[in-house]
Amino acid sequence: MSQYYDMGDQTLWNPSNGASRLFMSQVSVYEAELGLPSGIGPMRADECQVDRLVFKEFVDALLAWHRRTSHAVIGALSEGFVATVLVLAERAGLEVNWLPAGVADDGGLKDVQVPAAPVSSEKAWAAALRCKSRELGRFMAA
């Protein structure tokens, strides 16, 4: 069995029920963390629609949030979800906002890592996340 994540007539992803259930649970977590809807609709009869405009806003906010974190554990926990969302955004033809976190910063409190996690350059961070997203995309049936 599998489920479909569609944007209009285009299927973005067709994961197994287990992968979809885990992904949808994480969607709820990050919607709450960001205070934004994801644009990923409810799963009904093994299908859900993704709202292009709402999803774009969610992806940009998620990417900015992920870049702002300097907490090694939070970064590790969120990296797989962020990479998965980036695959969906790419398949949807969305141009994501890769601006440095300071440009999109909402001024909120940040978790502090003690000892401090190493800080990577913006280019290195974006390149590593793009690479992870491309690698992951090979395993995500459309």
Instruction: Provide the CA 28 distance to its chain's centre, in angstroms.
Output: 12
Residue 103: pLDDT band with limits 50, 70, 90: very low
> What's the pLDDT score for residue 45?
95
Nearest to 125 by CA among 84, 73, 64, 77: 64
Mean pLDDT for the chain? Answer: 87
Q: Say if residue 5 is exposed, middle or buried (CB neighbours under 10 Å; 0-12, 13-18, 19+).
A: buried
| Better-predicted residue by pLDDT, 134 or 19 | 19
Per-residue confidence band for 105, with pLDDT thresholds at 50, 70 and 90: very low
Query: 42 falls in which pLDDT band (50, 70, 90)?
Result: very high
Mean pLDDT of 81-99: 94
Closest C-alpha to 84, from 19, 6, 36: 19
The mean pLDDT of 31-50, rounded to a whole number, is 97
Q: What is the mean pLDDT of residues 36-63?
A: 97
